[in-house]
Amino acid sequence: MSRSKKESIIIFDTTLRDGEQAPGFSMTIDEKLALAEQLARLNVDVIEAGFPRSSPGDFESVKKIARVVKGPIIAGLARAIDADIDSCAEALKPAKRKRIHTFIGTSEQHLQHQMRKSKPEALKMAVNAVRRAMSHTDDVEFSAMDAARTDRAFLYEILEAVIAAGASTVNIPDTVGYAIPSEFGELIAGIRDNVPNIKKAIISVHCHNDLGLAVANSLAAIQNGARQVECAVNGIGERAGNASLEEVVMAVRTRRDFFRADTAVNTKEIHKTSRLLVSITGVPVQPNKAIVGENAFAHESGIHQDGMLKERTTFEIMTPESIGLKKSKLVLGKHSGRHALRKRLEDMGFTLSDGELDHTFAKFKELADKKKEIFDEDLESLVGEEMAAKVKPVFELAHMQTTSGTNTIPTATVRLVRGKETLTDSSTGDGPVDATYRAIERITGVSGKLLSYNIRSLTLGKDAVGEVTLRVSIGDEVYAGRGSSTDVIEASAKAWLNAINKKAGAK
C-alpha cells in the first residue's frame, strides 16, 4: 500500500446500536433521532441506527432516522437470516444512502456452541445473506463475529466468498475484547495478504474494550490497512464498551503525521455530541476520560500552568477549541431579548421552531430572574429541557415546597398538573429529595427504584444552575431523566418526573 498520500478513514458510528443495547443506555425514538441528527452534524460517514428485527421499537427508530437524517449512510444490523435482512431493508427504505450490515459468528466457540453449524454451513449462510442483502442495496457490509478468535484459514475463505458475493465492506470484530494491538494489526495485515479479492472491499474493525485496548487495537488496524473504524460516542457499548469515537478521531487527527490518514469528522462537534449523549442517557463521563472528560483540558499543577502561560504547546497537544470546548463566558443577562437568545442558540448549533423558542425564552427569563449571568452551559440545559419536553409530559410540576434541616423531619409537598387536573400530596422522607420522590410516587401511582443519581453544577458560582441526571427502573424498564434548576431539590424533582413521563408516554 502506498503511504505517501493521505488516506481517509471511514467513521462508522454504532452508538445507537451496540451502544444503545448496553444495559442502562436505552433511548426513546425521539432521543435516538436527536442523537442521530447530532451525529450527522458531527459528520460521521455511517450511522448504524439499530437492529430492526430485534424489536418493533428498533424497527421504527431505524425507519424514522432513515427518513429524517440527511448526510451519512444509514445502516441497519441483520443476522444472516432472510427475515432479518428483509426487515432491515424495509426499515432502511426511506434512506437516501443505506447499508445492510449482516453478520455471522465464525470462531470455533461461536460455531460450536452458539450457532451449532459447521464451517461450510456458516460460509453458505454468509454468502446467501450477502446475496439477499444485495437484492435490496449495493452497499452491503459483512461481519465475521469473533473474528479475532477465528481460525485464520477459515476467516480468509469466508471473507473471499462474501466479497465475491458483493460485500463492499468486511468487518473484523474483536467481539470479546481479547486482542492485543500488535497481534490485531498483524491479523489485518494477514487479511490484506491472504484474501485474494480484498482490494474490492474496505477492511473495517470493531473493537471492544474489555482489556482497555479497543482504541489501541483500532489504531493498530489502521496502521495495517483498515479503512473503516466502528466506534461509539463516549466509548459506550456492550460490557466495557466499544472503541471511543472521539479518541479514535482525535488520535488520527492529532497524529496525521504518523498515520498519514484522516477522518471527515467535524471535531468541533465532539464535545456537544458527548454532552447530548450524557443528558439523554443520564450516564456521566468519568472526569479523566480522554478528550471529553471534564479534566481532559484542565491544567492544574503549577509547573503545567506556568508552561501553558508561556507557551501552550509545552503541555497541550490539541486545543480545547478543536473539540468545540469554549471557555464559559457570560453571554446573556436579564435584559437580553428574544432575538439575542435566538442568535446565541443558533451560534451554538441549536435551531428551534418558533414555538420552542417562545417556550425556551420564557424559561430563560425565569432563570435570569434567579441568576444574574447566563452562560452557554445554562442555555444548553434550557434547550435540553425543551428536548426532554418533547416526551409529551403527562405530569408537570406546578409547585413544590420542602423543609429539611438538623433535627427536623424532611417533608415535601408537591403539586402536579395532569391535563386539567391538579394533584397535590405530601410525604416525609430521609431527606428532602427522598420526601419529594415519595410525594410524586403518591400522586402519580408510579413507583420506581433509583439506580443512579448525579448532580453537577453547570457553571461556576454559588448561584449556578444544578443539573440532575438519573436512572430509574420502573417495572422491567430503565428510564433516564434529567432536570435543571438553580434549586437542586427542584432539579431532582424535574429529573424524576422526566423519567416518569417517559414511562407514561411510552404506554
Query: Which residue, 230 or 490, is less far from Mn ion as judged by CB?
Result: 230
Nearest distance from C-beta of residue 238 to Mn ion, angstroms: 5
- Choices 13-21, 59-67, 93-101, 330-338 (CB under 5 A): range interacting with Mn ion: 13-21
Nearest distance from C-beta of residue 104 to Mn ion, angstroms: 14
- Choices 14-22, 78-86, 291-299, 464-472 (CB under 5 A): range interacting with Mn ion: 14-22
Nearest distance from C-beta of residue 175 to Mn ion, angstroms: 6
Residue nearest to Mn ion (CB): 18
Helices (H), 256-400: 256-259, 270-281, 302-310, 338-347, 354-370, 376-389
**Inter-axis angle of helices 488-506 and 432-444, nearest 10:** 30
Query: Which residue, 18 or 386, is less far from Mn ion as judged by CB?
Result: 18
Q: CA geometry: angle at 130 spanning 125 and 134, to 5°?
A: 145
Q: CA geometry: angle at 408 spanning 402 and 410, to 5°?
A: 35
Using the rule CB under 5 A, is 386 a contact of Mn ion?
no
Sign of CA dihedral 112, 117, 120, 124: negative
Q: Residue 231 in contact with residue 244, Cβ under 8 Å?
A: yes
Nearest distance from C-beta of residue 143 to Mn ion, angstroms: 9
Place of cell 457499548: 237
Q: Residue 130 in contact with residue 102, Cβ under 8 Å?
A: yes
- Kindly determine how many residues on this chain lie close enough to bind Mn ion according to the rule CB under 5 A: 1
| Binders of Mn ion in range 156-215 (CB under 5 A) | none
Nearest distance from C-beta of residue 89 to Mn ion, angstroms: 22
- Choices 11-19, 123-131, 162-170, 187-195 (CB under 5 A): range interacting with Mn ion: 11-19
* Residue 311: half-sphere exposure toward Cβ, Cα within 13 Å: 2
Query: Which residue, 172 or 285, is less far from Mn ion as judged by CB?
Result: 172
Nearest distance from C-beta of residue 230 to Mn ion, angstroms: 8
Residue 22 cell numbers, joined? 448496553
Nearest distance from C-beta of residue 242 to Mn ion, angstroms: 6
Q: Which residues contact 75 (CB under 8 A, 6 or more apart)?
A: 12, 46, 47, 48, 49, 92, 98, 99, 100, 101, 141
| Binders of Mn ion in range 324-363 (CB under 5 A) | none
| Binders of Mn ion in range 415-454 (CB under 5 A) | none
Using the rule CB under 5 A, is 18 a contact of Mn ion?
yes
Alpha carbons 343 and 163: distance in angstroms, whole number: 50
Using the rule CB under 5 A, is 385 a contact of Mn ion?
no
Q: Which residues of 292-312 are buried (b: 16+ CB within 10 A; e: fewer)?
A: bbeebbebeeeeeeebeeeee
Binding positions for Mn ion, rule: CB under 5 A: 18
